[in-house]
Chain A
Amino acid sequence: MDYVIETRELTKVYGTKIACDKISIAVKPGQVYGFLGPNGAGKSTCIKMLTGLVYPTAGGGTVLGQPLGSVAARKKMGYLPELFRYQDWMTGRDLLKFHTRLFRLPMDEGRIDQILKLVGLAGQDKFKVGSYSKGMQQRIGLGCALLPEPELLFLDEPTSALDPVGRKEVRDIISGLQKAGMTVFLNTHLLSEVETLCDSVTIINHGVVARSASMSELLLQRVNLEIRAAGWDEDILAEIRRRFQTEPVTSAEGKVTLTLDGHERVPEIASFLVSRNVALYELTPQGETLENVFIRLVGASGDAIVAEDAEAKEGAVG
């Protein structure tokens, strides 16, 4: 199996509204795969098609080598929905037992204890889910999704109800799962989480894929370069404009900053400057932040997400 998830032009139309338009993605085994987009971009609809909740209008794909929505795929698949609601009359342990039965797993109290500990709910299992805080409900939901030791885990906004400490704990859980070889498909509004955790990212906007790439490819697609050097002249700057299609900015301290359209162009510009007898003291490349890439790709509609991410960061600091 080359890909854990592979979709071909996956499309969902509700009446006249196109929720997802020809989404084609490929997720390799063991990846933490980020799925981003502004509100209403079609992320949750796409996840629902991958998990078999929603039927595609057109296109198709496979999950764990099985057609979308197949029972065989769901045996080794965990899913934490964005709208996490569970039977409020059950205790935490009852809920895990219920999902153990749904997964058709043997009843193993030890495994349930292990899951409770993993999601930070040890000792809380005798209380009713209805009495849990939102964060605890999200944790128990994650526990349910992890019960079968899935090969693929769909997490739709897994930290939306968690405090900064809880977010970090979930990030650590995801990192641990990745180390154990699990593939995680992560839909979140928190770009910092994606930047920290994900190997690859797909950004969708208005139902279409705006960009799909590995994280490094995405962040190094444009490089901001700060150059400290002596021996500049106007001819050299003009040639940089022409050859590298960029506008160098010279600061009062004599530093020149410019943007290159790829990390591979850094040695090229270094060679060029040396060839023109520029004394090169320092050359510092800086990749873009995911936030910059995101805003560039989705435009103003992504503002809400960036603001949310900033709030989350502030919360984490506080």
Chain B
Amino acid sequence: MKAIFMTTWQEAVRKKTFFVMGAVTLLYLLFWAVLLHYFVQTVRERALTDAFAGLASHMLTQMGLQFSSSLMALLTVMLGAGAISSEVESGVILSIVTRPLRRFEYVLGRFGGLAALACVYATLLYGLFLALGAAFHISTVTAMSLGQIVAGWGFYLLIPVAVLCLTVFGSTVFKTVPNGLLMIFIYILGNVGGMVEMVGNYIASKTVTAAGIFISLISPFHTLYAGMERILLPTSGLVGEMMRGASGLSGSGAPASGAMYVYIAVYMVGFLAWTVYRFHKRDIS
């Protein structure tokens, strides 16, 4: 399992996957820094009130977090879409699984390597995002306590790991490209689920809210994002009310229940176990 884990890392480095991810991220952070610069300049020049500047910085941070988590999720899909399928399609797997290696070790080695890679990436992205916010004295960022940052980081890491659980499972069922497209669709569906739930709350329709919850059960990634947002931006419930319409992707209703988080844990472990089972049972030809 260690050999597979290490090779997965080496592959990302040698194939320059990590480099490409870094370049895309750098562009994003550059864009983010420019945005923060003009935001701070505008606040200063127009002498906006603290309340309005606070609201604006909240919106800005929320938007940045949403975009960074989406970027991270999409790059995770890129990493994991061919985790197993690409090796089956190319035939590389034939010389691997005929070695004294149990099939579950192969799956867990691949998953572990990719998950570690995604977590390192997520940590860097999270850290740089917050560091930039702090450097530009964005009030919502500078107000965060260490406890908030650590707890938010935990949720932030769970997003790519959860996406990876589903994506690696998909790579035992579908070929690489269809799997990647399907996973992107499911991820976006999760955001849509959040919006549907929000609309349901808005119009006080239990049916629409239930539809949103149902979508979140299929794609619970947005719930993890919302959990992180609540920790980092604790006023998001109030501000969310004010921002409905302005922020399409994160209008938050009530916080997710404990049962939902248990469901997400079962979802992740379940898909990983299903991947191991499917790969163990399949013929490799």
Do the two shown chains form a genuine complex with each other? yes
Give A44 to B10 CA distance when docked, in angstroms: 31
Q: Is B90 an interface residue (CB 8 A)?
A: yes
A135 within 8 A of B: no
Known contacts being A54-B284, A89-B14, is A144 close to B98, with CB within 8 Å? Answer: no
Which of B11, B14, B91, B98 contacts A77 (CB under 8 A)?
B98
A-B contact count (CB 8 A): 74
Q: Is the CB of B99 within 8 A of A74?
A: yes
Of A33-41, A45-53, A112-120, A310-318, the stretch lying at the interface with chain B is: A45-53
A199 to B198, CA, bound (A): 75
Is B100 a contact partner of A54 (Cβ separation < 8 A)? Answer: no
Nearest opposing residue in chain A for B101, CB measure? A102
Q: How far is the CB of B136 from chain A (nearest CB, A)?
A: 39
Q: How far is the CB of A90 from chain B (nearest CB, A)?
A: 8
B102 and A85: CB pair below 8 A? no
* Most central of A51, A89, A99 by chain B CB within 10 Å: A89
Out of A53, A101, A102, name the residue touching B284 (CB < 8 Å). A53
In the complex, A240 Cα to B101 Cα: how many Å? 62
| Alpha-carbon distance A74/B105, docked complex (angstroms) | 15
**Chain B nearest Cβ from A58, distance in angstroms:** 14
Q: How far is the CA of A141 from the CA of B99 in the complex (A)?
A: 13
Chain A residues with Cβ under 8 A from B285's Cβ?
44-45, 48, 53-54
Q: Which A residues touch B11, using CB under 8 A?
A: 87, 89
Please tell me the number of chain B residues within 8 Å of chain A, measured between CB atoms: 24
Within 8 A of A (CB), among B258-285: 281, 283-285
What's the nearest-Cβ distance from chain A to residue B275, in Å?
A: 18
Contacts of A127 in B (CB 8 A): none
Q: Does any Cβ of A come within 8 Å of B46's Cβ?
A: no
Task: Determine if B92 is an interface residue (Cβ-Cβ < 8 Å).
Answer: yes
- Chain B window 87-116, contacts with chain A (Cβ cutoff 8 Å), 1 for yes, 0 for no: 000111011111111100000000000000
CB of A71 within 8 A of CB of B102, answer yes
Q: Within the assembled complex, what's the spacing in Å between the Cα atoms of A85 and B77?
A: 24
Q: B7 at the A/B interface (Cβ < 8 Å)?
A: yes
* Residues of chain B contacted by A44 (CB below 8 angstroms): 285
- Does B137 make an interface contact (CB < 8 A)? no
Does B95 contact A71, Cβ atoms closer than 8 Å?
A: no
Residues of B within 8 A of A74 (CB): 98-101
Q: In the bound complex, do residue B97 and residue A53 qualify as a contact, i.e. CB atoms below 8 Å apart?
A: yes
Give A94 to B14 CA distance when docked, in angstroms.
12
Chain A residues whose CB sits within 8 angstroms of the CB of B90 once the complex forms:
85
Segment 85-104 of A: residues with Cβ below 8 Å from B:
85-87, 89-90, 94, 98-99, 101-104
Q: Report the Cα distance A79→B101, complex, angstroms.
A: 14
Q: A102 to B96, Cβ gap below 8 A?
A: yes
In the complex, A277→B10 CA distance in Å?
82
- Asked whether any CB of chain B lies closer than 8 Å to the CB of A84, the reply is yes
Distance in angstroms between the alpha carbons of A86 and B284 in the assembled complex: 16
Q: Is A75 an interface residue (CB 8 A)?
A: yes
State whether A104 touches B98 (Cβ < 8 A): no
> What are the residues of chain B within 8 A of A144 when measuring CB–CB?
95
Which of B3, B6, B14, B92 contacts A86, CB < 8 Å?
Answer: B92
Q: Which residues of A contact B14 (CB under 8 A)?
A: 89-90
Residues of A within 8 A of B99 (CB): 74, 99, 102-103
**Closest B residue by C-beta to A45:** B285
Q: How far is the CB of B95 from chain A (nearest CB, A)?
A: 6
A74 — nearest CB in chain B belongs to which residue?
A: B100
- Chain B residues in 8 Å Cβ range of A77: 98
| A103 contacts B98, C-beta separation under 8 Å | no
Given known pairs A48-B285, A53-B283, A71-B101, the reply for A102 and B94 (CB within 8 Å) is no
CB of B95 within 8 A of CB of A79, answer: yes
**Inter-chain contact B94/A98, CB cutoff 8 Å:** no
Residues of B within 8 A of A (CB): 2-3, 6-7, 10-11, 14-15, 90-92, 94-102, 281, 283-285
Which A-B residue pairs are the 9 nearest by beta carbons? Answer: A101-B3, A102-B99, A85-B91, A81-B94, A83-B91, A54-B283, A74-B100, A75-B100, A79-B98
> Could you pull out 9 A-B pairs where Cβ atoms are within 8 angstroms?
A45-B285, A51-B98, A52-B97, A53-B284, A54-B283, A71-B100, A87-B92, A99-B99, A104-B100
Residues of chain A touching chain B, judged by Cβ–Cβ distance below 8 Å, are 44-45, 48, 51-55, 71-72, 74-75, 77, 79-81, 83-87, 89-90, 94, 98-99, 101-104, 141, 144-145
Given contact pairs A48-B284, A71-B101, a sample of 12 additional A-B residue pairs in the complex whose CB atoms are under 8 Å apart: A51-B98, A52-B97, A53-B94, A53-B98, A55-B281, A72-B100, A74-B101, A84-B95, A85-B92, A85-B94, A89-B15, A101-B6
